């Protein structure tokens, strides 16, 4: 087993990885930028190496500095977390060249899944259902329009190098096609430096359901069921839950099998996630594979009772998976809510700054993965997620009650957060019904933006109580002053006599 691991990340995920390393008796090396000198992951690691200035290009994305840091500290392996270099094949190759174990898939698997049309072809060959569409990018607008007409409008134009919704265009009709095609090419070029696009059938109000997969170096590949991630805002997940309210046992088993087939098709190693769109008729289509540990992995950890980071480390060290497919047991219901330093009232603008007060929820079935502490200054250089709240309970209803309870305990002062917004989402009838899709947050934006009547009623109640309290206090103070004045006018002797008289009468004192 590794004796020392370098964690090439920051924030809650760096803390998350360090925690498992400590449990496994593995020493940790944190890395940090100028903006992260006081960060929690630096405090929690055994050692820390400075990388450079705050911008990630000059710190967390510097392959050379990370490799140097691992060599200088004697770390045998690097955990990339998510984001940053976690899905960069050149980083894995640099680790290979330096004799350092990259805790993740091989570079070939990352590259194969990174190219969206290439991945579609491989998936079709492997018998994995994909959204009906082109197998290859098309640069000729006439051929692209003809293809769109052949599959029928509406269609979706997507970037070949894309993912995450950037460079994506819905086209309603043939008349709009040419302008949208050109716009999609421009967006793709701007976002990915690659203007190749392709055309797919548009799916109306799909749900986003993903399957956690895990493969070892001994030919074992299993899945750990699904996560429902349809509660998204501008392609950012906000709430994730498992099980998905729409999956039945048969669909769950079929999607799991397909996800394992997808992973096997690229010789996958370690933790990965296959994303699917599920349409209103419960047809499912492979969308893309994320070749990393995901933000929402704790949902699977709580539902399946496993430590996925431990699994990643063991598999990277050459050990076999600890469970076979039949041994994976899912129990109860898990939900995650992402706590962001952002202001829902100001179009979700980032709200960095100093956390002057922090009270984290706790209690039964309540987990917090966080990278912040009271007195910490949230820097503006990185993404705004400061914590994840994950709950587990035997049923969805109880998990929602628990999440509502935990959100009500959460207090963050000094910066603005989305906690109020999260409370409104998890109290919304559409979320409660479980019958929601990827358009939920956009369709309900107006209802979710303002404080609800219930919230305002509580604010009004507190305000009136405070007002009444102050009135009472003023009145009491006036009476006290009047009594003091009267007392001063009396002689000390007379006052003592009055008190003695009160005492005999069974009054005060
Ligand atoms: C789609 C789609 C409808 N039809 N593809 C958005 C992110 C990118 N990975 C794929 N996405 C979509 N692709 C077809 N053919 C609708 C979406 C989509 C979406 C998907 C997953 C989660 C949230 C979403 C929000 C809006 C649109």
For the stretch 11-28, pLDDT in tens is 999 999 999 999 999 999
Residues paired with residue 284 on neighbouring β-strands, in sequence order: 278
Long-range contacts of 374-380 (CB under 8 A, 24+ apart): 376/38, 376/39, 376/40, 377/38, 377/352, 377/353, 378/341, 378/351, 378/352, 378/353, 378/354, 378/415, 379/35, 379/36, 379/54, 379/352, 380/350, 380/352
Alpha-carbon gap, residue 19 to 368, rounded angstroms: 13
Considering only residues 183 and 451, tell me which one the structure prediction assigns the higher pLDDT: 183
Axis crossing angle, helix 308-316 with helix 297-304, rounded to the nearest 10 = 100
Report the chain's terminal Cα–Cα distance, integer Å.
73
Confidence (pTM): 0.90
pLDDT at 490: 63
* Nearby residues of 218 by Cβ (< 8 Å), 6 or more positions away: 320, 321
Q: What angle do CA 15, 357, 427 make, to 5 degrees?
A: 80
Axis crossing angle, helix 11-23 with helix 308-316, rounded to the nearest 10 = 70
Nearest residue by C-alpha to atom 26 in ligand 1:
438
Nearest residue by C-alpha to atom 13 in ligand 1:
165
From the list 169, 292, 338, 402, the catalytic residue is: 292
Residue 497: pLDDT band by 50, 70, 90 thresholds? confident
Helix (H) or strand (E) holding 232: strand 221-233
Ligand 1 centroid from CA 162, angstroms: 12
For the chain, the farthest-separated pair of C-alpha atoms sits apart, in whole angstroms, at 109
Do 66 and 6 touch, CB atoms closer than 8 A?
A: yes
Alpha-carbon 466 to chain mean position: 38
Residue 492: pLDDT band by 50, 70, 90 thresholds? low
Left, alpha or beta for 353 (phi > 0: left; psi -120 to 50: alpha)? left
Pocket of ligand 1 (CB under 6 A): 131, 156, 163-165, 168, 200-203, 206, 208, 232, 235, 277, 287-288, 438
Helix (H) or strand (E) holding 177: helix 174-192
Helix (H) or strand (E) holding 122: helix 116-125
Tell me 86's DSSP state: T
> Which of 168, 192, 207 to mutate for ligand 1's pocket (most ligand atoms within 8 Å of CB)?
168
Residue 509: pLDDT band by 50, 70, 90 thresholds? very low
Ligand 1 centroid from CA 489, angstroms: 82
Span 379-416, pLDDT tens digits:
999 999 999 999 999 999 999 999 999 999 999 999 99
Do 76 and 95 touch, CB atoms closer than 8 A?
A: no
Alpha-carbon gap, residue 417 to 396, rounded angstroms: 25
The reply to whether 292 belongs to the active site is yes
Pick from 407, 364, 413: nearest CA to 389:
407
What is the SS3 assignment for 411? strand
Considering only residues 497 and 229, tell me which one the structure prediction assigns the higher pLDDT: 229
Span 73-98, pLDDT tens digits:
999 999 999 999 999 999 999 999 99
Pick from 208, 221, 172, 205: nearest CA to 287:
208
Ligand 1 centroid from CA 207, angstroms: 9
Tell me what percent of the residues of the chain surpass a pLDDT of 70.
96
112 has a pLDDT exceeding 80: yes
Ligand 1 centroid from CA 311, angstroms: 30
Q: Is 31 exposed, middle or buried (0-12, 13-18, 19+ CB in 10 A)?
A: buried
> Which of 206, 207, 273 to mutate for ligand 1's pocket (most ligand atoms within 8 Å of CB)?
206
508 has a pLDDT exceeding 60: no
What is the SS3 assignment for 501? helix
Alpha-carbon gap, residue 453 to 460, rounded angstroms: 10
Which ligand 1 atom is at minimum distance from the Cα of 232? 23
239 has a pLDDT exceeding 90: yes
Alpha-carbon gap, residue 227 to 208, rounded angstroms: 9
Do 21 and 13 touch, CB atoms closer than 8 A?
A: no
* Nearby residues of 36 by Cβ (< 8 Å), 6 or more positions away: 10, 42, 54, 379
Residues paired with residue 228 on neighbouring β-strands, in sequence order: 209, 241
Alpha-carbon gap, residue 509 to 506, rounded angstroms: 8
Residue 493: pLDDT band by 50, 70, 90 thresholds? low
Helix (H) or strand (E) holding 413: strand 411-413
Ligand 1 centroid from CA 151, angstroms: 18
454 has a pLDDT exceeding 70: no
């Amino acid at each position: 087993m590794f004796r020392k691991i370098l964690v090439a990340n920051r924030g809650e995920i760096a803390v998350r990885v360090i925690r498992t390393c400590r449990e496994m008796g593995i020493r940790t090396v944190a890395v940090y930028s100028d903006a992260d000198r006081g960060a929690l992951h630096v405090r929690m690691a055994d050692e820390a190496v400075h990388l450079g200035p705050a911008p990630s290009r000059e710190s967390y994305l510097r392959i050379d500095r990370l490799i140097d840091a691992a060599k200088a500290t004697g770390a045998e392996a690097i955990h990339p977390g998510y984001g940053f270099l976690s899905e960069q094949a050149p980083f894995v190759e640099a680790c290979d060249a330096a004799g350092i174990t990259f805790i993740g898939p091989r570079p070939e698997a990352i590259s194969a899944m990174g190219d969206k049309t290439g991945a579609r072809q491989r998936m079709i060959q492997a018998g994995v259902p994909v959204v009906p569409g082109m197998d290859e990018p098309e640069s000729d607008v006439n051929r692209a329009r003809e293809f769109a007409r052949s599959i029928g409008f509406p269609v979706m134009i997507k970037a070949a190098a894309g993912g995450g919704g950037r460079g994506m265009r819905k086209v309603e009709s043939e008349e709009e096609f040419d302008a949208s095609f050109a716009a999609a090419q421009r967006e793709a070029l701007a976002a990915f430096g690659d203007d190749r696009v392709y055309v797919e059938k548009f799916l109306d109000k799909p749900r986003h359901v993903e399957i956690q997969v895990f493969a070892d170096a001994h030919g074992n590949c299993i899945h750990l069921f699904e996560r429902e991630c349809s509660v998204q805002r501008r392609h950012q997940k906000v709430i994730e839950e498992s099980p998905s309210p729409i999956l039945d046992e048969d669909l769950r088993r079929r999607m799991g099998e397909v996800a394992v087939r997808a992973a096997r098709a690229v010789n996958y190693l370690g933790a990965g996630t296959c994303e699917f769109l599920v349409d209103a008729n419960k047809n499912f289509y492979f969308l893309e594979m994320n070749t990393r540990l995901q933000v929402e992995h704790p949902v699977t950890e709580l539902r399946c009772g496993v430590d996925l980071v431990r699994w990643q480390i063991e598999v990277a060290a050459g050990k076999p998976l600890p469970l076979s497919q039949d041994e994976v047991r899912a129990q109860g219901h898990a939900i995650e809510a992402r706590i962001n330093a952002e202001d829902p009232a100001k179009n979700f603008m980032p709200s960095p700054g100093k956390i002057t007060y922090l009270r984290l929820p706790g209690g039964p079935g309540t987990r917090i993965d966080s990278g912040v502490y009271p007195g910490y200054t949230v820097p503006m250089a990185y993404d705004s997620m400061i914590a994840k709240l994950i709950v587990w309970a035997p049923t969805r209803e109880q998990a929602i009650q628990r999440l509502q309870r935990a959100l009500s305990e959460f207090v963050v002062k000094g910066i603005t957060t989305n906690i109020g917004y999260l409370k409104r989402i998890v109290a919304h009838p559409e979320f409660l019904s479980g019958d929601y899709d990827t358009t939920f947050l956009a369709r309900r934006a107006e209802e979710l933006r303002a404080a609800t009547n219930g919230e305002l009623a509580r604010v009004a109640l507190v305000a009136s109580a405070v007002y009444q309290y102050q009135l009472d206090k003023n009145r009491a103070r006036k009476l006290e002053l009047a009594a003091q004045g009267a007392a001063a006018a009396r002689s000390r002797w007379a006052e003592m006599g009055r008190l003695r008289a009160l005492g005999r009468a069974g009054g005060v004192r």
